[in-house]
Amino acid sequence: MTRTILITGGGTGIGRAAARHFAEDGGAVIVTGRRPEPLDRLAEEIGVRALVCDHTKPEALTKLLSKLPERIDVLVNNAGGNTDFDTAGPTDLASYAQAFRANLDANLVGAALTTRALDERLAEGGAVVHVGSIAAALGSGSGAYGAAKAGLHVWNLDLARALGPRGITANVVAPGYIADTEFFRNHLADERREQLVADTSTGRAGSPEDVAGTIAFLASPAARHITGQVLHVNGGAHTTH
């Protein structure tokens, strides 16, 4: 049977690579994001379905539900990013609160809302995969972004418990530095980039395909007894033992 895969933030970077991976594997892929342009481009290129949605907004999710099929086999909560890159920086307590909450919304609340909205449609034997971050473990000066991803990693434990009896797994893929995405905007200085690569054992930046392959593995029949885990894709920049 053809699997239906929903990838949030699927128009660019890691989400886009995951969409390609699942589509090449024969899945019926749906990608979402706030901007229609990258989504439409990808839809034209590889024949996935594109739907505009801001995953931090409950009303947008309700609208999205009306356009989605009754059965979702794989949900990839990939949408997110460090929202501090898009702001001038807080000037007072109110703008600090706003900026902090924006990161929580983008990286934690959005994934929780999306999973909740889709709960009844998640198919038995299916998988939820969130895209977390190395920042959850290392911080790396990432402030509210790292805190939000750490929250996502921990919230997933409850999710795995709740979905386990239905045969649905819930895991986190935590990338290290991944090049060729829109993540850093223009905030990555050459020295910092070199440091991030030097921190790896592989001596290279990760690619969106590196992460996509791991997401696909966690959603595959080979990974049915893996749940509640954080799988790191960072070339050894952070290791667990």
Min dist CB 5 to ligand NDP, Å, is 16
Question: Binder to ligand NDP among 11, 27, 146, 151 (CB under 6 A)?
Answer: 11
Question: Binder to ligand NDP among 177, 214, 231, 235 (CB under 6 A)?
Answer: 177
Min dist CB 71 to ligand NDP, Å, is 22
131 is a site residue for ligand NDP (CB under 6 A): yes
76 is a site residue for ligand NDP (CB under 6 A): no
Min dist CB 53 to ligand NDP, Å, is 6
Binding mask 39-58 for ligand NDP (x = CB under 6 A): --------------xxxx--
DSSP track, the chain: -PPEEEETTTTSHHHHHHHHHHHHTT-EEEEEES-HHHHHHHHHHH--EEEE--TT-HHHHHHHHTTS-S-EEEEEE-----GGGGS----SHHHHHHHHHHHHIIIIIHHHHHHHHHGGGEEEEEEEEEE--THHHH-TT-THHHHHHHHHHHHHHHHHHHHGGGT-EEEEEEE--B-SSSTTTT---HHHHHHHHHTSSSSS-B-HHHHHHHHHHHTSGGGTT--S-EEEESTTSS---
Which entry of 22, 100, 145, 155 is annotated as an active-site residue? 145
Binding mask 147-176 for ligand NDP (x = CB under 6 A): ----------------------------x-
The answer to whether 145 is a known catalytic residue is: yes
User: Which residue numbers are catalytic?
Assistant: 145
* Footprint of ligand NDP (CB under 6 A): 8-9, 11-15, 32-35, 53-56, 78-81, 106, 110, 131, 133-134, 175, 177-178, 181-183
